[in-house]
Structure 1
Amino acid sequence: MSESPDKKMKPTEDLHEDTVEHILSTFLPIQSFLRSRMVSKRFRNTEIRCKDLDFSGLYSVRRRQLKVVQIIESVFNQHKGSEINRFVLIINHTGVEDKILSWINTCLVTKDMIDAIFKNCIYLETLELIKCGMNEVLSINARNHKKFKSLVVYSMPKVWHIVLDAPTLECYKYDGPVRAPTICSLFDIAEFLKQCPKLEKVLIDISDFTFEPTGYWDLHLKVGIQKDYKEYDLTSIKEVEINGYKSHWHELDIVEFFVLNARSLEHLILKSPRNRKSKRFQTDERRMSYIKSISPKKYLIKFIKG
């Protein structure tokens, strides 16, 4: 004989209360979870740990921008989970760009998320990725964007390679680890700048970094850059600042490269390290004199103590 409907147990009655809360708060899509908190006293105070933050259905005729922003802001302020790996949002971004960027930076950023940002935010001007939990490769495809001007990548130690296609980029700041000194040279800097034809200001911070001489650089890369310098058209660059300048021979290569190729350059600032214990090299006066002699402006190069 079958049990009467009244005597059948609900699926959650066999589970411990903490287990039910964990399942609902972590694996349920955020809108379903919020509805559960509203209709059930049992889950009203359950912490938000959802990994799937799909807010696509919030923005509508009945619920305008301000209300949607308040709901999302509340979720992020209460979120106790260790990661967010899906974030979907359909909203009029005008006036709330800063909030949207802060929400994105809180998430575990994925390649699909970055692609979705550039696919859907056609008027995006600035993207700041700060302490984002992203692994391996960061790919920025802004080939068809006409207003994308600024990119900041800060403190993302798990990202080991950045692929950038952004013809309209004017400002790019990267702050993070260089995994091996021998793989970072003037060639890497030059090849990156070649992809940014509208870049106006370049800031290179080498305060905690020393270029080490390598035979491969001398025999191949340096010769290649000197031979094919016409490939590096940096006419848009007006200001270059090198922080942590220690008079290393490779740093002089960088100074010479900009003087030769950035023909519209107005300021080239060499700032010494703030830390007095930082290793400094003896200045090659003869070579510095040569670089100054080929500079189109007499007072182009300026030295500043850190």
Structure 2
Amino acid sequence: MAAPKRENQTGSQSPQKRTKKVHNQHQNNLISHIDGVSSNPNRSGNLPDDILDRIFSFLPIKQAVEIGVLSPRFKKSWLFNRKILFDREFARHHDREEYIHIVNHVFNSHVGSRIQSLSLCFDPTAKEHMIERWLKICAEKGIEELDLDFFQGRDVFKISQFLDIKSLTTLKLVYCEVDLPPQLTGLSFLTTLILKKVDLNTETMETLFFHCLLLETVDLWQCCNIQHLKVCARSLKRFKVLKVRHCTEILSIEIDAPTLRSIYYIGNVVKFQFAEVLHLDEVLLNFSPSRCFAKASLVENLVSDLSYANVLTTTSAFLEGLTTRIRDGAFRDLQFRLWNLKEFQLFMEGTSYCNLFDIASFLKNCPSLEKLFLDLNDFSFDCGFYWELHQKQLLQYFPHFFTGLKFIKVKGFKFQKHELELVRFLLGKAVFLETLVLVTPRTGRVRIYEPADAINYKRLIFSWRASPKTNIVLLDHYHDKGPVQPKVSQFG
């Protein structure tokens, strides 16, 4: 049987270029439409200023200005714009002084009654007074969405009284230091809080959870100076999503949030403590690999709190924490059940010793599992002597069947020995499996060119099926566009 051919690279247009092209097409269509309206009085109907105010409020300020050059009728309409968005894309095309001059001119010229959104991205050093004035104007005009991205700053931007804005519903801060006033009167309508590279402490987070009773989403990314995160959200009736990513100083996360439905965590293995077992819709746990036994015990304690999660996305480091080991003086499995788990997505990490038996031992504890996604990426199974002498035989006589499993996708499939053993095991145990999809690596180093290769591999894999109705699909990675995709698509 011929092995799949390899190549070093595949050529394709980048997603960024495709997105920009589509965006420009939509913008040109919109400009053409408005141009047609402005050139035909019967179509424009002499719209009053308040209607124009409303129309242009839906456009970012840059597009409003571009459209304003089409005719005298629209020349000044940008002055009513509600979305003052000067984000990273805009900042890339202007130096600092020019950027500040443009933003300041917009605020000096703005005559609209409302400002819905403000997005800034520049070095705020020595411009604190100017930012304070802009924010004061926004507060007076009922701003709802505030995005301050100061990653270019020489020092962390200190923000305190600027945050006490009552109308805010969405707040995003990058490279800031949050100093909340003792008596917080603003942020009472806040629903979304995103903090990236922000100096935090336990008291600040407790204050936010206490005062922001409408919070729905909290996203902490690369925040520092906080070791013990307490999510005290029992009085919050709408709190649904918690994201904690790359906050390296965090040691523990304490969660008291009955309405929480989604948890996304990326970082070192930390202690999770739940006030009660939650019915979670989605859980993402991207643990950094650790050889520490104490870290493994933290994973063991966590899995019991995920008993009623519906979707779980994690890495092989999580499975390593659950593997068979000496527990209470005896070599035995960890006893747990994920009763509601319908979808499981596993990313295999290159530094992990997770093997086929660890995967099988986990799957047997998921009685309701319907969809399984395995991303092998550049991972190669290094099973070792213990696998060859003990676990391999246990897997051959594995007594459990995965009766609910209907769909399996294995990405980064390289047709290696242990990968084929994994597929053979899954096909033999998923007795009601409907579809198995095998996708070659994203690197393009393994691709199926010859139809004969696909036919020969399909014939071999078909012979392993427990169900004759199982459909088997072999795909190169750029053809992986089927309707069945994992609910959690991004992992980093």
TM interval, short-chain normalised: 0.5 to 0.7
Distance 1:176 1:259, change over 3 A: closer
* 1:273 pairs with 2:441: yes
Alignment correspondent of 1:303: 474
Contact 2:357–2:391 (CA under 8 A) maintained in structure 1: yes
Q: CA deviation at 1:34?
A: 3.0
Distance 1:80 1:203, change over 3 A: closer
Residues 259-299 of structure 1 show CA distances to partners (whole Å, capped at 9, x for unaligned) of 1111121111111123233599xx89989645423422255
Distance 1:208 1:236, change over 3 A: same
Alignment correspondent of 1:123: 279
Scaled by the length of structure 1, what TM-score is found? 0.62
Q: CA deviation at 1:96?
A: 3.1
Alignment correspondent of 1:149: 310
Tell me which of 48, 51, 54 is aligned to 2:201: 51
Contact 2:401–2:429 (CA under 8 A) maintained in structure 1: yes
Contact 1:54–1:88 (CA under 8 A) maintained in structure 2: no
Percent of counterpart pairs with the same letter?
A: 23
Alignment correspondent of 2:376: 206
**Partner secondary structure for residue 303 of structure 1:** strand
Contact 1:54–1:86 (CA under 8 A) maintained in structure 2: no
Alignment correspondent of 2:187: none
Q: CA deviation at 1:216?
A: 4.1
Alignment correspondent of 1:263: 431
**Partner secondary structure for residue 259 of structure 1:** helix
Q: Output the CA distance in 2 between the equivalents of 1:223 and 1:215.
A: 12
| AA matched with 1:34 | L
Unaligned stretches of 5+ in structure 1?
A: 1-20, 22-32, 39-46
| AA matched with 1:265 | L
Contact 2:308–2:338 (CA under 8 A) maintained in structure 1: no
Q: CA deviation at 1:50?
A: 3.6
* 1:196 pairs with 2:363: no
Residues 93-115 of structure 1 show CA distances to partners (whole Å, capped at 9, x for unaligned) of 543312xx13x447555455367
Unaligned stretches of 5+ in structure 2?
A: 1-157, 159-178, 185-196, 256-270, 323-335, 478-492
Q: CA deviation at 1:240?
A: 0.9
Q: Output the CA distance in 1 between the equivalents of 2:413 and 2:356.
A: 14
Q: CA deviation at 1:189?
A: 1.1
Count how many residue pairs are aligned between Structure 1 and Structure 2: 250
Q: CA deviation at 1:57?
A: 6.9
Structure number having the greater helix percentage: 1
Tell me which of 319, 337, 340 is aligned to 1:168: 340
Q: Output the CA distance in 1 between the equivalents of 2:441 and 2:198.
A: 45
**Partner secondary structure for residue 321 of structure 2:** strand
**Partner secondary structure for residue 120 of structure 1:** coil
Alignment correspondent of 1:34: 180
Q: Output the CA distance in 1 between the equivalents of 2:310 and 2:394.
A: 30
Q: Output the CA distance in 2 between the equivalents of 1:160 and 1:189.
A: 7
* 1:179 pairs with 2:351: yes
Scaled by the length of structure 2, what TM-score is found? 0.41
**Partner secondary structure for residue 34 of structure 1:** coil
Contact 1:153–1:174 (CA under 8 A) maintained in structure 2: yes
Contact 2:347–2:376 (CA under 8 A) maintained in structure 1: no
Q: Output the CA distance in 2 between the equivalents of 1:53 and 1:173.
A: 35
Alignment correspondent of 1:25: none
Q: CA deviation at 1:222?
A: 1.7
Tell me which of 215, 230, 241 is aligned to 1:87: 230
Tell me which of 190, 203, 223 is aligned to 2:393: 223
Contact 2:307–2:340 (CA under 8 A) maintained in structure 1: yes
Q: Output the CA distance in 1 between the equivalents of 2:238 and 2:224.
A: 28
Q: Output the CA distance in 2 between the equivalents of 1:142 and 1:274.
A: 31
